[in-house]
Each structure stands twice: as C-alpha cells, then as structure tokens.
Structure 1
Amino acid sequence: MSFKIAIIGAGSVGFTKKLFTDILCVPEFTDIEFALTDVSEHNLQMIKAILDRIVEANRLPTRVTATTDRRKALEGARYVISCVRVGGLEAYADDIRIPLKYGIDQCVGDTICAGGILYGQRNIPVILDFCKDIREVAETNAKFLNYANPMAMNTWAAIEYGKVDTVGLCHGVQHGAEQIADVLGAKSRQELDYVCSGINHQTWFIDLRLNGRKIGKDELVAAFEAHPVYSRQEKLRIDVLKRFGVYSTESNGHLSEYLPWYRKRPDEITRWIDMSDWIHGETGGYLRYSTETRNWFETEYPQFLEAASQPIDPEKRSNEHASHILEALETNRVYRGHFNVRNDGVITNLPPDAIIESPGFVDRFGINMAAGITLPEACAATCIASINVQRMSVHASISGDIDLLKLAVLHDPLVGAVSTPEEVWQMVDEMVVAQAAWLPQYAHAVPAARERLSTSSVKTREWAGAARRNVRSIEELRAEKAALKQAG
C-alpha cells in the first residue's frame, strides 16, 4: 500500500514517534509517506532526524518529509493527524496562573474549566484553518484524526463548522481498563471486557466482564480499596465510584477539575489528591510535567536519537487508536475501540449535537458506532453539565462573542463552585488580554477588556495553589532517574 499521512504539530516529539512506530508495525504500511508539519522549524528537524534514523535502522522504504508549510504537507494526504497545542507552554502557563488569582485550582486545565475553555478558544480558529486546507488540498474524503485537547471542543468545531470527516482520539479508556484489570487480578488485559461510554475525559465503565463474569459495584470498590497503590492515588475516583456506581476513565487529577465538589477549597483539594505523581491532582501538575519533559528532551536529545536506531518491535505497539483505525480502514481487519464522534442518538440520554466517546467498530466501511447506549442518570447529568459548557465555548470561539465566552466559563462546574460572576467576568477579561496574540476572533474586544481591567475593583491574590511543586532542574531529573534505575 502507498498513501500519505500528514501530522500537524509533529514537533510533539515523543507522541509523534509513538504514532510513527505504531503505524509501521502494520506490515502493509511500510511503503507510505509521513509529512510532518509544525510552526517550529527547530522541533521539526529534531523529530525528522529521529524518524529518519528509525527508517534507516529498519531498512524501510518509508518516506519522511518535514515542512513549516502546512498546505504543502497536507497535499494529497489520505489521513491527517493533529496533536497541536496552540500558544505552547507560554499560553498554557496563563491557563493555570490567572485562574489561581481567582481561587480556581486546576491540575491539568485542558478540557473544560477556565484553562480548558481558553485553550479551546486558541485552538478552534486554527482547527478550522486545518479543515479548510484538508477540504482544498488533501485527498478527497480525507479523514481527520484529532488527538489535540480540548478533545470535545476541537472535534465539535471540526465536524460542525470545518465540514470534514473527523474522529477524536484519546487513551483514557485504555488506561482506566488497565487499572481495573490490575485490581481484579486479571492475568492479562484480554480477560477484561467492557463497555465504556460518556464524553471525553468523563467516560464511564458501565459494563464490566472478567472472563465473562459481570463485575458489580461492590466488588470493584473492594478491589480498589484493597489495592496498595490505587487506594492511595485514586481516592477521588473511588469516592465517585461509590456514589455513582461506576468507575470513571479519568485520572484522579483530571476528574477532580470536572466536578464542583472536590477542588472548591484548599483543604478539600489536599484531602482528595495524592502528590506521588502530577496526574493524581497536583496544582498545575501537567504544566510542570510538560515543562520538564520539554527541557529534558532538549538536553538529552542525543540519547533519543541513539535510541531511534533500535529495531521496531510489533510486540510493543501501543494501544493508541490511530494505527489500529488506519489498519482497519485499509486492510478490513476489524478493530473495536472508543471514539469521539457526534452523538446523533448513540447515547440516548445525551444531546444529539454533543461529541461523545463511546464504543465503535472500524472496517473498510468506516467507523461504525454501537448505538442505543443509556448512561446511568448521575453520569448523564455530569456529562450534560460539561456539554453545555463545551457548546457555548465552541459557539463563542466561532462568533468572537466575549459575553458568550464569559457565560461559558460561568457555567463551568468548578468555576461556578469557586468564583462569583464579577470574578468570572474580570478573569475572562484578563485571560483574553494576556492571550490576545492567539485569539484573533476577540481582537475587537481586547481594548474594552483592557479598559475594564484598569478600573476594576474585584480583588485577586497571588496564589501558587493548594498543592504546587516547582519545575525540577535537569540535574534533579537525572538524579531521580538514576535513583529509580538503581532501585529497580
């Protein structure tokens, strides 16, 4: 087979390498072209050198090109994969820093909450530019695979306004299933069957079978509470499991910021999170992790390049959906996964226009969703609260309506649990002014927002958050890795 895959935001080096090697684990896919594009020439050249080394080491006919000219990369592409972060770590730092001044303590801030909503405002205009290019220069009926957060908002905009064939992809379901298999003592992940449904980052394991035996709430709660690690790291998720009756896909830290109950006061935050790793609820944890990862890659790049000389091992193919979807579409080997698509009745008690994450099957006819799923009422209520925020956020981004944007932020569950309307209005003004370089749709609103900030009487505070850690130096990271290696 010979076709072209374009990867936008390919400077996301670790993830691009994973996608690349996964796809090349499919025997039929060795004679294809990868077209890499990014706004950073520096990052592009670094990742291209790594992928070229993989091709050379494995003696493959695969072609790798790299360009900052996005349209050139998309010309004739059958598949387009996006993993962009518009504004980079600079804008992301404001997504965490500014809401903290108003008492909003986020762990990740990339899905909803104040940070995720502004992240969507930066991404959606760019996503629509991608869609325009796909319609005009990519292969007819090219498929757009979106890995970028905020997943639901980006996918919603691409489908409703971009008018391209789009699916959103995430790995939260797989990671949650791995935990469940672990606590239930499964010898392999293949022993666990499940139906997981909801919206991205709020997906629920509504049916679990271990070797065909149905697993109920009480057994699952007991298994998690008995686990020596998860009982400590996933306290919030276990509490939600007890109250809702089903387990959530998302990490302790992610889930904590989508709900109005666990991060509303500093003492509550420290009660429910665990500081052994960022993903369990640390304030700004993913920002710290992303900063450290970028710094580590820049410093240790020669090691990454050397590691690229190893043979590709199909046994190490990851459970990221992209390679398996492409394999099913091109070879008709059926793949079952969980995909982000427009609802249109797939989940009976969620709105039809929502972007849902639910089971589907892929073959040459495309992605075919399993329809007629009904969520438990508490799960549906939680999802609908987020869907309403997502819908307003997407429409605000398209229209450039700053008042609608403020209403979207006001209705966010965690923001509403912490902040007053006056605080929300000022916070959004401050975020729009700080991120104006990435928000062209709000250019007309920035002068008035700046003027309001100059006369505002709403009080703020400089606050690091309830559970903040400093970014570690390269020397500290080296010492930690050496200690782990020695211990293990």
Structure 2
Amino acid sequence: MSFKIAIIGAGSVGFTKKLFTDILCVPEFKDIEFALTDISEHNLQMIKAILDKIVEANKLPTKVTATTDRRKALEGARYVISCVRVGGLEAYADDIRIPLKYGIDQCVGDTICAGGILYGQRNIPVILDFCKDIREVAAPGAKFLNYANPMAMNTWAAIEYGKVDTVGLCHGVQHGAEQIAEVLGAKSLSDLDYICSGINHQTWFVDLRLNGRKIGKDELVAAFEAHPVYSQQEKLRIDVLKRFGVYSTESNGHLSEYLPWYRKRPEEITKWIDMSDWIHGETGGYLRHSTETRNWFETEFPQFLASAEKPIDAAKRSNEHASHILEALETGRIYRGHFNVKNTGVITNLPSDAIIESPGFVDRFGINMVSGITIPEACAATCISSINVQRMSVHAAISGDIDLLKLAVLHDPLVGAVSTPEEVWQMVDEMVVAQARWLPQYADAVPAAKERLANSKVKTREWEGAARRNVRSIEELRVEKAALKQAV
C-alpha cells in the first residue's frame, strides 16, 4: 500500500515517534509517506532525524519529509493527525497561574475548567485553519484524527464548523482498563471485556466482564481498596466509584478538576490527591511534567537518537488508536475501540450535538459506533454540565464573543464552586489579555479588557496552590532516573 499521512504538531517528539513506530508495525504500511509539519523548525529537524534513523535501522522504504509549510505537508494526504499545543508551555503556564490568583487549583487544566476553556479558545481558530487546508489540498475524503486537547471542543469545532471527517482519539479508556484488570487479578488484559461511555475524560465503565463474569460495584470497590498502590493514588476516583456505582476512565488528578466537590477548598485538596506522581492531583502537575520532559529531551537528544537504531518490535505496538484505525480502514481487519464523535443516537441520555466517547468498530466502511447506550443518571448529569460548558466555549471561540466566554467559564463546575461572578469576569479579562497573541478572535475585546483590569477593585492573591512542586533540574532528573534503574 502507498498513501500519505500528515502529522501536524510533529514536534511533539515522543508522541510522534510512538505513532510512527505503531503504524509501521502494520506489514502493509512499509511503503507509505509521513509528512511532518510544525511551527518549530528546530523540533522538526530533531524528530525527522529520529524517524530517519528508525527507517534506516529497519531497512524500510518508508518516506519521511518535514516542512514548516503546513499546506505542503497536507497535499494529497489521506490521513491527517493533529497533536498540537497552541501557545506551547508559555500559554499553558498562564492557564495554571492566573486561575490560582482567583483560588482555582487545577492539576492539568487542558479539558474544561478555566485553563481548558482558554486552551480551547487558542486551539479552535487553528483547528479551523487545519480543516480549511484539508478540504482544499488533502486527498478527497481525508480523515482527520485529532489527538489534541481539549479533545471534545477541538473535535466539535472540526466537525461542526470545519466540515471535515473527524474522530477524536484518547488513551484514558485503555489506561483505566489496565488498572481494573490488575486489581481484579486478571492474568492478561484480554480477560477483561468492558464498555465505556460518556464524554472524553469523563467516560465511565458501564459494563465490566472478567472472563465473561459480570463485575459489580461492590467487588470493584473492594478490589481497589485492597490494592496497595491504587488505594492511595486513586482516593478521589474510588470515592466517585462508591457514590456513582461505576469507575471513571480518567486519572485521579484529571477527574478532580472536572467536578465541583474535591478541589474547592485548599484544606480539602490534599485529602483526595496523592503526590507520588503528578497525575494523581498535584497542582499544575502536568505543566511541571511537560516542562521537565521538554528540558530533558533537549539535553539528552543524542541518547534519544541512539535509541532509534533499535529494530521495530510489533509485539511492543502501543494501544494508541491511530495505527489500529488505519489498519482497519485500509485492510479490513476489524478493530474495536472507544472514539470521540458527534452524538447521533449513540448515548441516549446526552445531547445530540455533543462530542461523546463510546465504543465503535472500524473496518473498510469506516468507524461504526454502537448506538443506544444509556449511561447512569449521575454520570449523565456530570457529563451534561461539562457539555454545556464545552458548547458555550466552542461558540465563543468561533464568534469571539468575550461575554459568552465569561459565561462559559462561570458555568464550569469547579470554577463555579470556587469563584464569584466578579472574580470570573476579571479572571477571563486577565487571561485574554495575557494570551492575546494566540487569540485573534478577541482582538477587538482586548483594549476594553485592559481598561477594566486597570480600574478593577476585585482582590486577587499570589498563590502557588495547595500541592505545588518546583520544576526539577536536569541533574535532579538524572539522579532520579538512575535510582529507578538501580531499583529495577
């Protein structure tokens, strides 16, 4: 087979390498072309050097190109994969820092909450530019695979306004399933069958079967509480399981910021999180992790390049959906996964215009979703709160209506539990001004926002959050990695 895959935001080096090697695990895909594009020439050249080394080491005919000219990369592409972060770590730091001044403590801040909503405002205009290019220069009927957060908002904009065949992809379901299989003592992940349904990062294991035997709430709670690690790392997630009756796919830290109950009081936050790793609830944890990962890669690039000389091992193919979807579409080998698509009767008790995450099967005819799923009422209520925020956020990003943006932030569950309307109005003004260079749709609103900030009487505070850690130096990271290697 010979076709072209374009990867936008290919400078996300580690993830691009994973997608690349996964796709080349499919025997029929050796002759395809990968067109890498990014706004950073520096990052592009680093990832191209790594992928070229993989091709050379495995004696493959695969073609790899790299360009900062996005349209050139997209020309004739049958598949387009996006893993962009608009504004990079600089804008992301504001997504965490500014809400903290108003008492809003986020672990990740890339899905909803104040940080995720502003992230969507930066991404959506760019996503629509991608869609325009796909319509104009990609292969007819090209499929857009979006890996970028905020997943639901980006996918919503691409489908509703970009008019491109789009699917949103995430790995939260797979990670949750791995945990469940472990606590239940499954011999392998294949022993566990499950149906997850909801919205991205708020998807729920609504049916679980271990070797065909249905697993109920009480058995699952007991299994998690007996686990020596997860009982400490997933305290909030286990509490939600006890109250809702089903387990959430999302990590302890992520889930904590989508709900109005666990992060609204500083003195309560540490009760529900675990500091053994950022993903369990650390304030600004993913920002710290991302910063350290970038610094480490820049410093240790020769090591990454050397590791690319290893042969591709199909047995180590990851559970990221992209390669499996492409394999199913191109070869007809059926793949079952959980995908982010528009809700057209898939989940009966969520709005029809929402982007939902639910099971589907892929073959030559496309992605075929399983329809008619009804999720538990508590799960639906939680999802609908987020969907309403997502809808307003998408409409604000499209229209550049700063008042609608403020209403979206006001209705966010955690923001509403922590901040007053006056604080929300000022916080949004501050975030829009700080990120103006990435928010062209709000250019006309910036001068008035600056004036309001100059005359504001709303008090803020300089606060690092309830559970903040400093970014570690390269030397500190070396010591930690050496200790982990020795322990293994």
Same fold (TM over 0.5): yes
Q: Deviations over 1:295-333 (max 9, x none)?
A: 000000000000000000000000000000000000000
Q: Deviations over 1:266-321 (max 9, x none)?
A: 11110000000000000000000000000000000000000000000000000000
CA distance in 1, matches of 2:72, 2:364: 27
Q: Deviations over 1:403-427 (max 9, x none)?
A: 0000000000000000000000000
CA distance in 2, matches of 1:352, 1:345: 7
Secondary structure at the counterpart of residue 340 of structure 1: strand
Structure 1 runs (4+) greater than 2 angstroms displaced: none
Per-residue deviation, 1:199: 0.1
CA distance in 1, matches of 2:269, 2:354: 30
CA distance in 2, matches of 1:360, 1:487: 41
CA distance in 2, matches of 1:351, 1:106: 27
Q: Corresponding residue for 1:436?
A: 436
Q: Corresponding residue for 1:227?
A: 227
CA distance in 1, matches of 2:246, 2:226: 17
CA distance in 1, matches of 2:49, 2:483: 30
Per-residue deviation, 1:149: 0.1
Per-residue deviation, 1:474: 0.2
Per-residue deviation, 1:240: 0.1
CA distance in 2, matches of 1:230, 1:387: 29
Q: Deviations over 1:91-127 (max 9, x none)?
A: 0000000000000000000000000000000000000
Q: How does 1:86-485 map to 2 (within 5 A)?
A: 86-485=86-485
Secondary structure at the counterpart of residue 5 of structure 1: strand
Per-residue deviation, 1:259: 0.1
Secondary structure at the counterpart of residue 276 of structure 2: coil
Q: Deviations over 1:30-58 (max 9, x none)?
A: 00000000000000000000000000000
Secondary structure at the counterpart of residue 468 of structure 1: coil
Per-residue deviation, 1:487: 1.2
Per-residue deviation, 1:248: 0.0
CA distance in 1, matches of 2:248, 2:347: 17
Per-residue deviation, 1:256: 0.0
Q: CA RMSD in A?
A: 0.2
Per-residue deviation, 1:344: 1.1
Secondary structure at the counterpart of residue 353 of structure 1: coil
CA distance in 2, matches of 1:5, 1:222: 45
Secondary structure at the counterpart of residue 328 of structure 2: helix
Q: Deviations over 1:384-411 (max 9, x none)?
A: 0000000000000000000000000000
**TM score, norm. by length of structure 1:** 1.00
Secondary structure at the counterpart of residue 312 of structure 1: coil
CA distance in 2, matches of 1:432, 1:242: 39
Q: Deviations over 1:418-450 (max 9, x none)?
A: 000000000000000000000000000000000
**Structure 2: which 5+ runs fail to align?**
none
Secondary structure at the counterpart of residue 195 of structure 1: strand
Secondary structure at the counterpart of residue 247 of structure 1: coil
CA distance in 2, matches of 1:52, 1:300: 18
Per-residue deviation, 1:16: 0.1
CA distance in 2, matches of 1:379, 1:53: 46
CA distance in 2, matches of 1:129, 1:486: 48
Report the number of matched residues: 488
Per-residue deviation, 1:345: 1.0
Q: Deviations over 1:59-105 (max 9, x none)?
A: 00000000000000000000000000000000000000000000000
Secondary structure at the counterpart of residue 361 of structure 2: strand
CA distance in 2, matches of 1:361, 1:40: 36
CA distance in 2, matches of 1:114, 1:346: 29
Secondary structure at the counterpart of residue 352 of structure 1: coil
Q: Deviations over 1:108-157 (max 9, x none)?
A: 00000000000000000000000000000000000000000000000000
Q: Deviations over 1:213-265 (max 9, x none)?
A: 00000000000000000000000000000000000000000000000000001
CA distance in 2, matches of 1:344, 1:33: 34
CA distance in 1, matches of 2:485, 2:153: 40
Q: Deviations over 1:453-476 (max 9, x none)?
A: 000000000000000000000000
Secondary structure at the counterpart of residue 248 of structure 1: coil
CA distance in 2, matches of 1:378, 1:161: 31
CA distance in 1, matches of 2:203, 2:268: 24
CA distance in 1, matches of 2:132, 2:112: 26
